[in-house]
Structure 1
Amino acid sequence: MSWFKKLIIFVFIAFLVGVGGIAGTYFWLRADLPDVATLKDVRLQTPMQVFTADGELISQFGEQRRIPLRLDEMPPLLIQAFLATEDTRFYEHPGIDIIGIMRAATVVATSGELSQGASTITQQLARNFFLSREKKLIRKIKEIFLAIHIEQLLTKDEILELYLNKIELGHRAFGVGAAAQVYFGKTVQELTVDEMAIIAGLPKAPSVLNPVRSASNARARRNVVLGRMLDTGAIDRATYDAAIAAPVTSRLHGAQITASAPYIAEMVRQQMVDRFGEEVAYTEGFRVYTTINSKDQAIARRALQQNLYDYDERHGYRGPVAELWQSQLQQSDAAEPVFTEKNRPEPAEINAYLDRQQGIEDLIPAIVLDVKQQSAMVLLKGGQLQELSWDGLKWARSFITDERQGTAPKTAAAILKPGQHILVRQQDELWRLSQIPAASSALVAIDPKDGAIRSLVGGYSFAQSQFNRVTQAKRQVGSNIKPFIYSAALEHNYTLASLMNDAPIHHWDAGAGIAWRPRNSPAVYDGPIRIREALAKSKNVVSIRLLRGIGIDATIEQLLKFGFSATDLPRNETLALGSASSTPLEVVTGYAVFANGGFLVQPYVVDKVLNAEDKVIFQHQPLLACEACQETDGETPIQAAPRVISAQNAFLIADALKSSIWGGGDWRQGTGWNGTAWQLQNLRRRDLAGKTGTTNDSKDTWFSGFNSDLAVTSWVGFDDANRSLGRALWNANLGREQSAGAESGARTAMPAWQSFMRQILPAYPEKTVTPPVGISSVRIDLTTGLLSRSTDHTSSFEFFKLGTEPTQYVSGSVPQVQFGENNQQKQELEELF
């Protein structure tokens, strides 16, 4: 009995010492323990996501990939997989597992090493939020105290939800939602049992056990998890057997991008970093909604790419990417050629080679296996055999220079040989030989009413070049500048009916000792011509004469109103021909002034930003093109964009630019004429206006056009500003399919604009444009621009700003002409009559 009393006393003293030791340790460490109350308001580091206006995901930015989920959004079986593996008694213990701790203590006592963690889910949560992963006793003690505090502060479900969203699972995936996406490209609801087990096995060593790093390690760990799930009754034997037999297949997946707009995504990323700083922008779970429409964006991207393919095919085939083996063609009596091949790789080697090759956009790597008379058999990356028919090959005459192409091929053997690594693409069910376009392009569409960017494509491929040509490429604008020159003319007593002399200019520069002889393109001169017709036909010499009549200072002053920078505008007469350099975004902003009635709107792409709690923390307030904006939209005042030109000036230029498409005169009477954009007539929209643009030597080509709903600019050129787009010679294989001749705004840039508008215009019903107050319409004589009483093909109605209408009727005398230069022009013009 005395020994029993002594034992009781010893146990009691040991208990008191233990409690005292624990209490002492707690008070000793208390100052170093973090405040677990912060878990009540925890902000998980969540990447920034960028969306289109209609909710499609464009991109995701942030080092930590996380998709926060509520516990009730996670499959119960996935939760059971984690509990079975990490903490079977999670819902029973107070935050620490005494049995597990005793087991770990035994290992420490026997080996001297802390090899078993014995950490509960609550302890792991404490470590992940507040502590390091170092295996030291003091860290374990802190972990225990923090776990007990957490259990007092949060419910079990709250702890488990935080853990499953916080846990690191490899490859920058944090939480089960991100892991499902990164490893399997799925949501958690789409995971199979074996995939759930793989994810549940990752917390032990995510960098080693993940299925991308090692399928064998992932399989072994998965099987352990499945065994624990079977032991705990989470799954039955049949489910276990099926999951054990499942192969481990995984690869890295990015965010589930549903709209391709990488140039927009980069613009947004930079704006968000500028606004919030890099650390905040990438971790606070911001959701950025842009002004982009996903369907219009897809149409714009495809229109730009197809236009570049068309340009590239006009200029010839530059040859294969590489040659895997050489083939020698031997002609025999057989109908098909016979090849003698040396060192030809085995099929498995060819497939392995293709697996290592990267395609770009819709271009797919392929190997030529066989060439017949007018077709070729190729092996695509992925193992598919595909025949290239003659229709997909016949364009491919050889590229010589930008100005010259080889003769049209007659056989497939003149184009391809077995063993060549080529690129192919599928277009309208037809497989075509292709190549990465050499030229570059940009296309941007904005809403002229408020500047919202609806579509933007900054190049052929963001993967190829991240240089955004819409916002960063300052290129000479060519004849795209002319509407702004003509706008200045209307402010200086010219009208659309004013006559100018379309005749060659010979200007002697005494200082340089040379004569400047600017020419029309093409070099056709019509003599006396009305300003409307001169603008529609893009007459260079008329633009120069107008500049002389207005004066360079007055012209530049007018151009600045449209948002152009003074440093980009040369102070000489080449300004009239488009020697100024601007970005496509600056150009389309200027054209939007004509589209909206005279207001300068500011382009923008970020509409609103929401934080992780769905609260709007930023809402863009655009400047609207409206005459009186005292109204309010709810509690938000509507802000007016500045009026920079009169409504009358904007209307007159916009109406004149419609003549670029529809021309004028009477074709039945032999007086009809076309503007430079006459091909757009097949869009059958009378509300469209536009202007072509081509610089010297076709180094830059443009088309800008608009209606009241959209202003769109298309540009094509080489990134090397010194390289000309050249010309395409006639290809006998293509017939009417081709577009031969020198590259120009109408031939090179306008097709992308046309393709884009053709597909999106049905969403924008045609609207009748009503002339603003202060505009009159009178019948004029088409030859002289004077008033006319005739109602036949010699006359037509013309718009004028009130007070600028002609006051004389046409007679047999020399017409009244506006000169604005000097008496030499008057003399030249009089000689023409």
Structure 2
Amino acid sequence: MAQQKKTTKKKTAVAGNSFTRYIKWFWGLFLGGVLAFVLLFLLASWNVFGELPTFEELENPESNLATKILSVDGKQLGTYYNENRTPIKYEDLPQNLVDALVATEDERYYEHSGIDFWGTTRAVAYLGQKGGASTVTQQLAKLLFSNPPSSTFERLIQKVKEYVISTRLERQYTKQEIIAMYLNKQGFLFNAIGISSASRIYFNKEVQDLELHESAVFVAMLKNPRQYNPYRTISREKSLGRRNQVFKQMEINGMITTAEKDSLQALPMEVKFTPEGHADGIATYFRENLKKFLAEWIEENPKGEDADGNLEYYNIYRDGLTITTTIDSRMQKMAEEAVAKHMSKLQAEFDSQNEKNKTAPFRDIDESEIDLIFERAMKSSSRWRLMAREGKSEEEIRKSFDVKTDMSIFSWQGNIDTIMTPKDSIRYYKRFLRTGVMSMVPQTGEVRAWVGGINMQHFQYDHVQTGKRQVGSTFKPFLYATAVDQLHLSPCDTLPNTIYSIPAGKHGNTKDWAPKNSGGEYGGMITMKKALAQSVNTVSARLMDKVGPRPVLELVEKLGIDTKNIPEVPSIALGTADLSLYEMVSAYSAFANQGVYVTPQIVSTIQDKNGTILYQHVPETRDVLSAEAAYVTLQLMEGVTQAGSGQRLRTTWASNRADYKKAVTGYPYGFTNPIAGKTGTTQNQSDGWFMGIVPNLVTGVWVGGDDRAVHFPSLRYGQGATMALPIWGMYMRDVYKDKDLEISDDAFEKPDNLTIEIDCDKYNSEGVSDELPEELEDFF
């Protein structure tokens, strides 16, 4: 028995010693783990595992800001950015957004100092199945890492760094500042960096105007912007479910009632997607062209010197400038809508007429010329440039144009995903008719609308300022204005409508020049007004012979037109010169501004990120014509819309119902106000123009193919009155409907000292013959 007790005591002592040893091991491991944990954080804070991301961007959130482009009516047209980010202050955030964020992402946000130890313990205990442990502060810290970890070890080290950064953030910033920084830094896809740009892109409103059900959508996206994206069809259902979970979290945290939660969850999730990519939104061609203006301004206006004395220049992609342009967003939308309406139907007619054309979309050229077009197109393509830059041989590059590839191509019904060779895509795109539209206030030079093409994503070439095409009869008003100025002619004066020849050797002619009328009609006398309205070439020849090419070129040069490539020969009277729509609109504007030319203006002010004005436009003007000559020229051009090729603007319904259905040859415009205008059509119907003037707005339209060989087979559809005028008509019809735009429908202002009679009834009733005036007989 004694032996048994002795053995029992011995066993108890051994067990006690073992338990004590286990306790020591436990505390040793625990304290060792704690020390290792602390050491790990210390090593991370000492940059042993690599440099920690700095707070530089957080301390100065305006160091990488998008430049905002504003319209004259205060709407944002777009941005220039590396990151499309516009930081916003905490006080500008709606309280519903802050509440939704805290309730869903960090319930104890106002209680912890960057790390939620209770949340961390729970996450470890349940292996993350009852929620993660990352606080809002930790999520902000994570956003500071530019490169994602590539291994589990790197992720562990980054997590440790996030903890260190979080505690530093909490020491350096207030809770409100951290929330603002987090929402400014978060990405929401589709070029939406930060809550401000996201609000505009997904709901087309400023962040302070967000309603709770909209704020909840953004909080739902924080978990994963792609998986819970409300715009992507594949993720809409998950986004809706996550949004409703946000409402549930707000109820749990006492921020909304159960009744409010139920009504909010019943709301449909509606997104008003308004992308802000460089090729999205309105005025895309204008925004791209604006870069040229800004590049010149930046070069001429350095912002200062750096520490080494080198000049520093503004950067439109990061300096947060605000560019207030002269574009009116309402008029811009109207112009773009008019283009889409007309060009889609005109294209359908063009395609229909090409169905039996073996060389479609080209006409009047042979295969060798078509090959040259393809050669030029290939060598100017981005594919050719990129492959050449990669060191590919010409043979490899050429072969690539015959290899089928996936691509998204343009159509008026929307983009089409297809497979075709790059060479086939060249032919496909060549078939599309292009256009340019520009609208300008003649008294100030302010450009109100600028449409450089039919689709910026697929057709980058700008047809307002970059493109130059033959102007046809739209050049004739310059000739008539010169004649009125020099010879004091009246619109009521008459001239012979007979073939008129300017011999070789005169006015720079190398051979006799005797242009024919496009309609082939001759005989009798015709008034100046009717001659311009009907684009009578024989009268233009007579006028050109009497005034000479030099005075006409001097006039157009004063009107802002580049004349260095315009030959000084009589044939310029018929519009053989290649000019841009930009030049034509600004030149025509002088007629509506009493002969005073105003340089086109596209920017009103430029401000830095602090609101300091860096640039203020000062109008540049010069007297070009007398007010009398300008006014008489307007009266001549009014004849175009009264009895010439522009008179369809006066119709109230199409003359041919079938044609109207095609929306090509007739429109119910019904304008009754004074309109001065001029159509233009070039050889083979390659270019169609219409220039339209009302007292305080001048608008020009050009329509044509990318190549001159792309055109309609006849004048019925290929003339300026059919190709270009309808865009002007639809645009101006919408402009006049918006009374806030204050576009005048009054008569043109008559000069006080008008000495030329413009009333032909009065002109003839005072005994003036409708024959050629006696004082001009020697001229004609």
TM-score norm. by structure 2 comes to: 0.67
Task: Indicate the residue corresponding to 1:502 in structure 2.
Answer: 497
SS at match of 1:560: helix
Task: Indicate the residue corresponding to 2:576 in structure 1.
Answer: 579
Relative distance call for 1:759 and 1:214 in structure 2 (3 A) is closer
Residue 770 (structure 2) pairs with residue 791 (structure 1)? no
Residue 249 (structure 2) pairs with residue 254 (structure 1)? no
- The one-letter amino acid paired with 2:626 is S
Task: Indicate the residue corresponding to 2:183 in structure 1.
Answer: 164
Greater Cα shift, 247-256 or 683-692: 247-256
Match of 1:300 among 310, 315, 335: 335
Task: Indicate the residue corresponding to 1:556 in structure 2.
Answer: 553
Match of 2:724 among 749, 770, 782: 749
Structure 2 Cα separation of the partners of residues 520 and 693 of structure 1: 14
Relative distance call for 1:547 and 1:777 in structure 2 (3 A) is closer
SS at match of 1:706: strand
Structure 2 Cα separation of the partners of residues 781 and 166 of structure 1: 70
Greater Cα shift, 576-585 or 151-160: 151-160
Structure 1 Cα separation of the partners of residues 690 and 271 of structure 2: 47
Match of 1:696 among 651, 675, 683: 683
SS at match of 2:438: strand
SS at match of 1:600: strand
Task: Indicate the residue corresponding to 2:735 in structure 1.
Answer: 760
Structure 1 Cα separation of the partners of residues 773 and 242 of structure 2: 97
**May I ask how many residue pairs the two structures share in their alignment?**
642
Gaps of 5+ in 1: 321-355, 367-435, 624-640, 663-673, 729-740, 797-809, 821-825, 827-833
Deviation of 1:815 (Å) = 3.8
Match of 1:770 among 727, 742, 750: 750
Q: How does 1:428-827 map to 2 (within 5 A)?
A: 439-462=433-456, 465-493=459-487, 495-496=489-490, 500-506=495-501, 516-527=513-524, 531-623=528-620, 641-662=621-642, 674-680=643-649, 687-727=674-714, 741=716, 743-761=718-736, 763=742, 764-767=744-747, 769-771=749-751, 773=753, 775-777=754-756, 791=765, 815-819=774-778
Task: Indicate the residue corresponding to 1:264 in structure 2.
Answer: 286
Structure 2 Cα separation of the partners of residues 780 and 273 of structure 1: 50
Structure 1 Cα separation of the partners of residues 172 and 282 of structure 2: 45
Residue 137 (structure 2) pairs with residue 122 (structure 1)? yes
Contact 2:688 2:704 in 1 (8 A): yes
Deviations 1:638-696, CA, capped at 9 Å, x for gaps: xxx1223333432332333334445xxxxxxxxxxx45544456667674322232222
Structure 2 Cα separation of the partners of residues 519 and 319 of structure 1: 29
Deviation of 1:750 (Å) = 3.1
Deviation of 1:597 (Å) = 1.9
SS at match of 2:731: helix
Relative distance call for 1:544 and 1:87 in structure 2 (3 A) is same
Deviation of 1:541 (Å) = 2.1
Structure 2 Cα separation of the partners of residues 751 and 251 of structure 1: 31
Relative distance call for 1:57 and 1:185 in structure 2 (3 A) is closer
Deviation of 1:236 (Å) = 6.1
SS at match of 1:603: coil
Structure 1 Cα separation of the partners of residues 247 and 341 of structure 2: 51
Structure 1 Cα separation of the partners of residues 344 and 157 of structure 2: 66
SS at match of 1:585: helix
Match of 1:53 among 59, 64, 72: 72
Relative distance call for 1:121 and 1:29 in structure 2 (3 A) is farther
Deviation of 1:146 (Å) = 4.1
Contact 2:514 2:541 in 1 (8 A): no
Greater Cα shift, 233-242 or 446-455: 233-242
Structure 2 Cα separation of the partners of residues 301 and 227 of structure 1: 44
Contact 1:494 1:818 in 2 (8 A): no
Deviation of 1:548 (Å) = 2.7
Contact 2:530 2:639 in 1 (8 A): yes
Greater Cα shift, 280-289 or 159-168: 280-289
Structure 1 Cα separation of the partners of residues 475 and 177 of structure 2: 63
Relative distance call for 1:318 and 1:228 in structure 2 (3 A) is same
Contact 1:685 1:766 in 2 (8 A): no
Residue 69 (structure 2) pairs with residue 90 (structure 1)? no
Structure 1 Cα separation of the partners of residues 759 and 85 of structure 2: 69
Deviation of 1:69 (Å) = 4.4
Task: Indicate the residue corresponding to 1:737 in structure 2.
Answer: none
Structure 2 Cα separation of the partners of residues 274 and 147 of structure 1: 44
SS at match of 2:598: coil
SS at match of 1:281: coil
Structure with greater helix percent: 2
Greater Cα shift, 58-67 or 716-725: 58-67
SS at match of 1:776: coil
Structure 1 Cα separation of the partners of residues 593 and 717 of structure 2: 34
Match of 1:290 among 318, 325, 331: 325
Greater Cα shift, 606-615 or 519-528: 606-615
Structure 2 Cα separation of the partners of residues 291 and 173 of structure 1: 26
Structure 1 Cα separation of the partners of residues 473 and 85 of structure 2: 50
Give % identity. 28
Structure with greater strand percent: 1
- The one-letter amino acid paired with 1:486 is Y
Deviations 1:374-427, CA, capped at 9 Å, x for gaps: xxxxxxxxxxxxxxxxxxxxxxxxxxxxxxxxxxxxxxxxxxxxxxxxxxxxxx
Contact 2:94 2:209 in 1 (8 A): no
Deviation of 1:273 (Å) = 6.2
Q: How does 1:170-569 map to 2 (within 5 A)?
A: 170-179=189-198, 199-200=218-219, 202-203=221-222, 205-207=224-226, 210=229, 212=232, 214=235, 232-234=253-255, 254-255=275-276, 260-268=282-290, 271-272=293-294, 280-308=315-343, 311=346, 317=352, 363=413, 439-462=433-456, 465-493=459-487, 495-496=489-490, 500-506=495-501, 516-527=513-524, 531-569=528-566
Contact 1:57 1:259 in 2 (8 A): no
Task: Indicate the residue corresponding to 2:367 in structure 1.
Answer: none
Structure 2 Cα separation of the partners of residues 564 and 534 of structure 1: 25
- The one-letter amino acid paired with 1:505 is Y
Deviation of 1:557 (Å) = 2.6
Contact 1:131 1:143 in 2 (8 A): no
Contact 1:57 1:258 in 2 (8 A): no
Deviation of 1:709 (Å) = 0.9
Deviation of 1:21 (Å) = 10
Structure 2 Cα separation of the partners of residues 171 and 311 of structure 1: 33
Relative distance call for 1:527 and 1:21 in structure 2 (3 A) is closer
Deviation of 1:447 (Å) = 0.7
Relative distance call for 1:458 and 1:239 in structure 2 (3 A) is same
Deviations 1:46-67, CA, capped at 9 Å, x for gaps: 5444343223443445454446
Greater Cα shift, 280-289 or 187-196: 187-196
Deviation of 1:450 (Å) = 1.7
Structure 2 Cα separation of the partners of residues 531 and 553 of structure 1: 21
Structure 1 Cα separation of the partners of residues 236 and 722 of structure 2: 54
- The one-letter amino acid paired with 1:289 is T
Relative distance call for 1:614 and 1:258 in structure 2 (3 A) is farther
Structure 1 Cα separation of the partners of residues 239 and 760 of structure 2: 85
Contact 1:658 1:688 in 2 (8 A): yes
Relative distance call for 1:31 and 1:696 in structure 2 (3 A) is closer
- The one-letter amino acid paired with 1:706 is I
Aligned-residue RMSD, C-alpha: 5.3
Contact 2:442 2:598 in 1 (8 A): yes
Deviation of 1:579 (Å) = 0.5
Greater Cα shift, 504-513 or 465-474: 504-513
